[in-house]
Structure 1
Amino acid sequence: MVFFSNGRWSGFALGRFARWCALAVACGAALASGVANAAAGQCLAHSPAHRVALVELYSSEGCSSCPPADNWLSQWKQGGAAQGVVPLALHVDYWNSLGWTDRFSQHRFTERQQTLTDVAGAHTIYTPEVFVAGRELRSWSSADSFADRVRQIVAQPASADVAVELKPRAGSPSGAFDLDAQFTSHAATADPLNAYVAVYENALTSQVRAGENSGATLHHERVVRQWIGPVPLAAGHAQIRHDVTLDAVDAGAPADRFGVVAFVENAATGDVLQAADLAACH
């Protein structure tokens, strides 16, 4: 069963979040820790000692209530990890038969949305839907509710460590990288753990010519273009090495238009234990 939300959206002021962040001890620690940074001369990131909030927005260009949610997510295009927020936009495919085919949609994102919903004991998927650290947050459009969820997450010590490195491939156009992601868990659980890497792209624009958003120009940030995983952790460890090559149509884009997010998830509960965010370096 698929339910399409009425999309009532109250907005989210970035300034309000910043003021809250300045007052919250846990988030202050997140800002001080340098959640993920490209080191001088290298392109790498390490997750911090505290947990960060992976924010997954399930969206579609065919959904009239999704553009406000897309705009909401875009406020963390850069620097979100320093606030404890690692955002991703995953475009689902179940709107594609209703007038407009979303070129960023992938069926695996529909499957992931359904899996997270099933694990939580729910049955309905819809757009826009937001998961924070693997748990649905229906009240994401409330500044206080979202800030409270992030505050709770970043106040927790991390039970997994993630390190990710990108190396531009010599002699290749922008958008071609060698990826190396390392995952280590010290969680006190017997549940199976999985590692994932998402390759995202910023500054995307679509001229929608049919469906609910017909005639609109849509702007997207942090759109997942490639999805790698699940890779099971064995004895608390996993590694993902991958040749990342973006679509030829995007090959000439600046390197920092792209990035990767690597994360560890509890396969039994859907909880995202930890994540690292890295923008591609020049």
Structure 2
Amino acid sequence: MPPRLFACFGKPHVHSSAATASAEDQRGAVLVELFSSQGCATSPEAELLVSRLGRGDFEVEAPVVVLAHHVDYWDYMGWKDPFGSSQSTVRQKAYVEALRLDTMFTPQVVVQGRSQCVGTDQDALLSAIASAPKFPSPALQANFQRPSPDSLQVLLSGALKMKVEGQANVMVALCENGLLTDCLKGENKGRVLSNDFVVRKLEKLCTVKDISAKKTVSGTVNFSLWQGFTSSKCGIAVFVQNSAHQIFGSQNILLPDNM
């Protein structure tokens, strides 16, 4: 690999449908975030590991909510990651600063916004999940609407089920599974790359400050959709994050198949 600053180590009608959170137990879910790129030779190995984690292939002490953020700083290598975004790069940079790391690299996993490891290190990943602080998962209910063929509106309401001291943001990620890409150039040239839990959109639902665990929060997020959007392959992840980028609860919500 070349010398670098970064190191490389997985319609026109309105349709309304309601959904509730998938079952996360009372210990609460742990948010696992992978930062990767299709332009990084070792990211596919990490993508596979994180996909297996999200599918439940490993025995872990708590449920997990998995997000795969594709960064864009490897695009110069000859292959532009179709899922890469500057938003993902900015999010990773914020973790680098919060965790006081020397540099950004892929693949990297961040757990609960508090610890990190190389994305291919299965033992380190499972250890980080086991030792991560656990918080009750929010109990938000979702109502989905399609105000236009290229947009999705998500109305969320419910209790965060945790006391928030100070200020925190409630974030909503729209994710897609089962993505296959023929990689024609770059370090993964000739490979068919498989990606799950890919963050296609990430928006803020609301900001909360000094609220009780029983306090109901509500809000609406609007996602612009991409060509080929298929609701059966997608879901949303909701998580609460403070100004230090630490996670205080997360939950998964599936999209209805007929959206």
For the structure 1 residues 280 and 84, does the alpha-carbon distance in structure 2 shift closer, same or farther, using more than 3 Å as the test? same
2:12 match:
none
Superposition deviation, residue 242 in structure 1: 2.1
1:2 match:
5
Aligned ranges for residues 74-85 of structure 1 at < 5 Å? 74-78=51-55, 83-85=62-64
2:99 match:
120
User: Is 2:246 aligned against 1:271?
Assistant: yes
Contact map agreement 2:71 2:85 (CA 8 A) in 1: yes
TM-score in terms of structure 1 length = 0.74
Superposition deviation, residue 214 in structure 1: 1.3
Superposition deviation, residue 241 in structure 1: 0.5
Match for residue 262 of structure 1 among 232, 238, 246? 238
Match for residue 88 of structure 2 among 95, 100, 109? 109
1:280 match:
255
Aligned ranges for residues 1-282 of structure 1 at < 5 Å? 2-5=5-8, 7=9, 42-45=18-21, 48-78=25-55, 83-138=62-117, 141-153=120-132, 156-158=134-136, 161-169=138-146, 177-182=152-157, 184=160, 186-187=162-163, 189-190=165-166, 192-229=167-204, 231-236=206-211, 238-247=217-226, 249-251=227-229, 253=230, 255-268=231-244, 270-282=245-257
For the structure 1 residues 164 and 112, does the alpha-carbon distance in structure 2 shift closer, same or farther, using more than 3 Å as the test? farther
Deviations 1:202-247, CA, capped at 9 Å, x for gaps: 1111111111111111111110101102742134365330233421
Superposition deviation, residue 141 in structure 1: 4.1
Aligned residues: 239
Q: Supply the distance in 2 between the matched residues of 1:2 and 1:181 (Cα, whole angstroms).
A: 40
Percent same amino acid among aligned pairs? 26
Q: Supply the distance in 1 between the matched residues of 2:61 and 2:208 (Cα, whole angstroms).
A: 27
Q: Supply the distance in 2 between the matched residues of 1:275 and 1:4 (Cα, whole angstroms).
A: 29
Letter in 2 for 1:279: L
Contact map agreement 2:31 2:66 (CA 8 A) in 1: yes
TM-score in terms of structure 2 length = 0.80
Runs of at least 5 residues in structure 2 that lack an aligned partner in the other structure: 10-16
For the structure 1 residues 246 and 165, does the alpha-carbon distance in structure 2 shift closer, same or farther, using more than 3 Å as the test? same
Q: Supply the distance in 2 between the matched residues of 1:59 and 1:220 (Cα, whole angstroms).
A: 10
State the superposition RMSD in angstroms. Answer: 2.9
Contact map agreement 1:167 1:179 (CA 8 A) in 2: yes
Deviations 1:39-82, CA, capped at 9 Å, x for gaps: xx941117653232111000101101100011111114445899
1:30 match:
none
Runs of at least 5 residues in structure 1 that lack an aligned partner in the other structure: 8-40
Superposition deviation, residue 137 in structure 1: 2.4
| Structure 2 SS opposite 1:169 | strand
| Structure 1 SS opposite 2:48 | helix
Q: Supply the distance in 1 between the matched residues of 2:71 and 2:205 (Cα, whole angstroms).
A: 18
Superposition deviation, residue 98 in structure 1: 1.6
Q: Supply the distance in 1 between the matched residues of 2:165 and 2:37 (Cα, whole angstroms).
A: 35
Structure richer in helix, relative to its length:
1
| Structure 2 SS opposite 1:151 | helix
Contact map agreement 2:152 2:225 (CA 8 A) in 1: no
